[in-house]
Chain A
Amino acid sequence: MSNINTKALASPLTWASTIELLESVKVDEIGVKERVASLSTRSIKRESKLQALNYIVSMCDLTTLEGEDTEGKVLQMTAKAMRPDPTDKEVPSAAAVCVYPSLVSTAKEIIGTSNVKVASVSSYFPSGQVPLESKLLDTKFAIDEGADEIDIVINRKAFFEGDYRKVFDEIVALKEACGNIHLKTILEVGELRTYENIKKASLIALAAGSDFIKTSTGKISNGSSKEACLVMAKAVYEFKESSGFSAGIKVAGGIRNSKDAIRYLIIIKEELGEDWLHADYFRFGASSLLDDVLKQIRKLKTNAYQSSYYFPRG
């Protein structure tokens, strides 16, 4: 699980072939809900649970995206990402830390040679309501500071105005700016409202060269949902069938406990297969989730319910 970011980079398709992908987008809403409901009832036994929890830690993008973030806070969080549970060597390190561009160099400094990546949000996260030139500047700044991964937001204004071409072109331009840096595109599913919109946005983002598609900024109340994750997984599957590229999915926003996170893993495994149970293909963007997962891992090992008090802050 250590060699993350070894997978091939995505490359954009032409607009013409993107239109073809979008033509036949239809989502069976009831079907999606039923499927999620049935997958969510699955019970996981002890051994598999421990494995799942370790996966979740290794897939975590430990995130802090607040106006009040300081270097001290990022240092603390990054240290936690590198060694989530200092008392248990079997617990893997997190996949990445996710911060604002101005704090990338701080995180990068402490990470050193560790395999934890530094992801930066850019393109005027979370709204993205600025001209493309500003988004490019923002992104280039984050890359120059040393970001290994870039999380951008799609242009929802253009999306809702029906200007899919603009959404597509902006991602292509940002992808170009990223070069060989992994690009995650945030759809903000809570704002897209319908499953069809989510699928369309997913396909546009994938066709424009996103390495990952991500559910949410975590800045609005209805962040990620299992249903949205399922629809995105289906889009990733279809895209792989048509273009051959295996993209990743990042779920973020409102996933706070292990039980919920495991349900996401089940959805991904059932829809895309075991290959996706890897930090190269699936990530959790979270701040409080990791604490609960660490508590559950120690609970499984010691048989005692745990308190966050005894785990590192971050």
Chain B
Amino acid sequence: MTEIKKTYKNYVDGKYVRSESGKTYTVELKSESYELPLTSKKDLRDAVTSSKSGFDSWNKLSQYNRTQIIYRLSEMIEGNRDSYVEILLDYGLTKAAANKDIDNAINTIVWYAGLADKWEQLTGNLNPVVGEYFNISHQEPIGVVFSLNSTEISIDKLLSSFLPALSIGCSVINLSEKNAVLSLKLAEDINNSDLPSGALNLLSGDFSKILDDVSRHVEINALASYKKLNKENLKIINENASTSVKRIFHLPSEEGLSSILPFIETKTVWHPKGR
């Protein structure tokens, strides 16, 4: 029988798309060589448009419903465990390490699924003030988040680069570089988890090629890099981002409650105490 190989594509607006530029880059692994889409600035633009509407549809769902959808992702991954292990082995992990990574990934998902309808109680507050007022720190998701995945070969790390923002209601554009086979593979299970299209867009490519456009784009509200960036790039990003007051987070926390803090907007609400 002829061997049929899969074409890995970007996951944008709930669809699998090639780069509009037609460009690809090669990821050479032990047994396979993958041609992945090299995301261009126009692909980024499309992803942002999608994330903008994805933010609305993701937030229309109840927090309880978002919990169920994120939890479903863990069920999907468990069902396809073998195919993830295969890719991780190809990236050079041992079988034990690969299985361990998937165990961790599933734990991570379950944790964030649980957090999705509880975070506001944990991070919000009723503040003591002098006067007959309630003073409330009301919590909202910041909006469209661009996140750059770390360079590690790990599904758990990949999830940790978008679940913190996604679980609290942000829409996320996630870019992976050399390890993008994992995220484009994960796109299939994301798609099967009933996540509304646009809530999460997964891209592959070279961050330095779109760095300027990402940091200038007015509709991206926050940029989180889980990959260590050099000083020059950070300087460019910070300068560009200042024109749209974009929040920049370099190597933010990847676990626990502190991981979601960058993506929360706090509004202070005053309300008179009635009698």
Contacts and interface: CB of A to CB of B under 8 A. Distances in A.
B218 A310 contact: yes
B219 interface: yes
Contacts of A304: 213, 216-218, 240, 243-244
A304 B211 CA distance: 12
Interface string B196-226: 0000000000000000110011110000000
A24 B12 CA distance: 49
A108 B48 CA distance: 39
Nearest to B220: A305
Contacts of B217: 304-305
B267 interface: no
A134 interface: no
Most A Cβ at <10 Å: residue of B218, B243, B244: B218
Interface string B35-67: 000000000010010000000000000000000
A307 B212 CA distance: 17
Interface string A292-314: 00000000001111110110000
Interface string A199-213: 000000000000000
Interface size class of B (residues with CB under 8 A): 10 to 19
Most B Cβ at <10 Å: residue of A304, A305, A309: A305
Contact of B216 (A303, A309, A310): A303
A310 B244 CA distance: 10
A222 B155 CA distance: 45
A36 B178 CA distance: 42
Nearest to B221: A307
A307 B52 CA distance: 10
A303 B216 CA distance: 8
Interface in B235-253: 240, 243-244
A307 B48 CA distance: 10
Contacts of B218: 304-307, 309-310
B237 to A, nearest CB: 13
A307 B243 CA distance: 13
Contacts of B212: 303
Contacts of A310: 218
A262 B216 CA distance: 25
Interface string B88-101: 00000000000000
A194 to B, nearest CB: 33
A305 B52 CA distance: 13
Nearest to A308: B219
Contact of B45 (A305, A307, A309): A305
26 contacts: A302-B216, A302-B243, A303-B212, A303-B216, A304-B213, A304-B216, A304-B217, A304-B218, A304-B240, A304-B243, A304-B244, A305-B45, A305-B48, A305-B213, A305-B216, A305-B217, A305-B218, A305-B219, A306-B218, A306-B219, A307-B218, A307-B219, A307-B244, A309-B218, A309-B219, A310-B218
In the complex, the 5 A-B pairs of residues with the closest C-beta atoms, listed nearest first:
A304-B216, A307-B218, A305-B217, A307-B219, A306-B218
Given A305-B45, A307-B244, 11 more contacts: A302-B243, A304-B216, A304-B217, A304-B218, A304-B243, A305-B48, A305-B216, A306-B218, A307-B219, A309-B218, A309-B219
